[in-house]
Structure 1
Amino acid sequence: MEGIDLSGVDPTRWPEIRRRVAILDEYCAIPERTQRSRRAFARRLGVGEAHFSSLAQIWRERRDPADLPGARAHHPPKPANRLPAASTDVARAVIADLGAMARRRDILSEVRSRCENAGVMPPSAATITNMLAAARASLDEATTFDPEILVDSCAAKLPARHRGGVVLPRLLVAVQLPERVIIAYEMSLDTTVPPSVESLAASIRAAADPSGRPLRIRAPHLGVSEQALIGATVLRGKPTGLPTLTQLLAPAIGDIPLVFQISRAISADALVRIRNVSPLSRRDVQAALDQAVATHNSRRPAPVAFIPAGQPAA
């Protein structure tokens, strides 16, 4: 059952969809199915007989896990926007003028200023933030940021099993600019042990090309010893205007939402209370993240060859 194609299934549904497929396969293999067997299998699946018959028919005809009900997350419809169209038009114009990679606070300030000048109510900060995130997610061209590798941390909004509990996987990610390609990442499920800087450094070196151009590594939120371990450039003073991981990756890697402020995130325990969502094994989390990174990178321009700054070119 591990070998079924789950590429179109929400990763948080993988365990439940595997369970459903196993039961449906067993049922469909019965030569002469009766009402009694259908009733028994419906009970095992936890659904009514009519619903089970529908699931069995879908599985017999398509054999695609993504087509089974419950394979994808269903988000409730957003409440109707009560703002005048002029307000959201202003926000869209600001994002277009300043660019999707502009700092959030600059976007918010400019939207409020233009709305005030136009005499219309400005959208809420949350509405503008969502619009900005959508614009960033759809951006498939290189940014105007200087070439570098940014290393920073976040968490994946995936419920993961760890030592009898449920946690959000913590990530340490290396993103190559200006293309926003993820060249490496490390994961930790242990809330007391951060993702390995040493392993990430090794992955960055493995992705390098001796004939490539030198690229600095910037890791603004790592400690001094970790920056040295990863070969990061320590910038003097407090330079402003440099890109952040939130700008580059929010709101998601592929279809996996990211969390940049853990204290404000929904708990992993709350996630598994959602219908059809189950905690994932480490293996499933790794597979889901690998798939998401591949999807993310496929939507970006091909990055140029590089070597970490300070290493001699060929």
Structure 2
Amino acid sequence: MNTPDFSGIDPLRVPEARRRVAALNEYLSLPNPSSNDTLRIAASIGLSRSQFCRLARVWRDHQDASLLVVGKRGPANRKYNVDQRAVSIAQELLAEAGPTASLALIAPQIEKRCAEAGISPPARSTINNYIKAARAGTAAPAAGPPRIVVGRMWFHIPIRLVMAHEIVADRFHRDNLELFAARRFVNIRPEHMRRFEAFGIQNGPSTTYGELARVIDPQCPTRGAAIIQGLTVLRRVEIDLRPLLTNRTPLCIH
């Protein structure tokens, strides 16, 4: 495996990036990682299971260490290439309209004046930023009769629906679910997909677990079974995971 490039990372966060790379390489090197493996390795670098799985996908697909540690985000401070004359026009009209000016009212005026001057106007999102800055810079009360200020806030409550087919029936069901879930990172090669697609076209959607495994990888049916598990996660294969799986277990190709 190539040595990771840490050159684009804050030096203070390089040790953290190294720990994450080591943990991810350990996880991706496991031939059949279990749910306990995922939880154990995720906990070793202080991440939840979902956070760790997202990082694993990023590392598997990009091998870019800078994507494993994201710097803290602060207020936007980007400088847009707005003509200074357009800025002056916007500030002049905003000063005339006052801090209560609305975007819908002031933006067309700014755009008209800029067109007359033969220059490009600021984007409406930029004009909206000017309005917010003007409002923040004044303590003058809004004109008009007394009004009630209603505050609004949006927040996300983590909710997960458990469908009927997700309820674990017994030990076999739980073990099968954990096994198949761990196969989301299995390496499916083009030749595997060609055999899979050709078999479905020639023989129809109904077959068995063992037969399809031998078709996908004739030299190593065990690897073929692992690919079936990955294709099940991708919803290309439908199989009942409640009973003990055998070579005679029926399945359906999608």
TM over 0.5: no
Name the one with the larger helix percent.
2
Name the one with the larger strand percent.
1
Larger radius of gyration: 2
Compute the TM-score of the two structures, normalised by the length of structure 1: 0.26
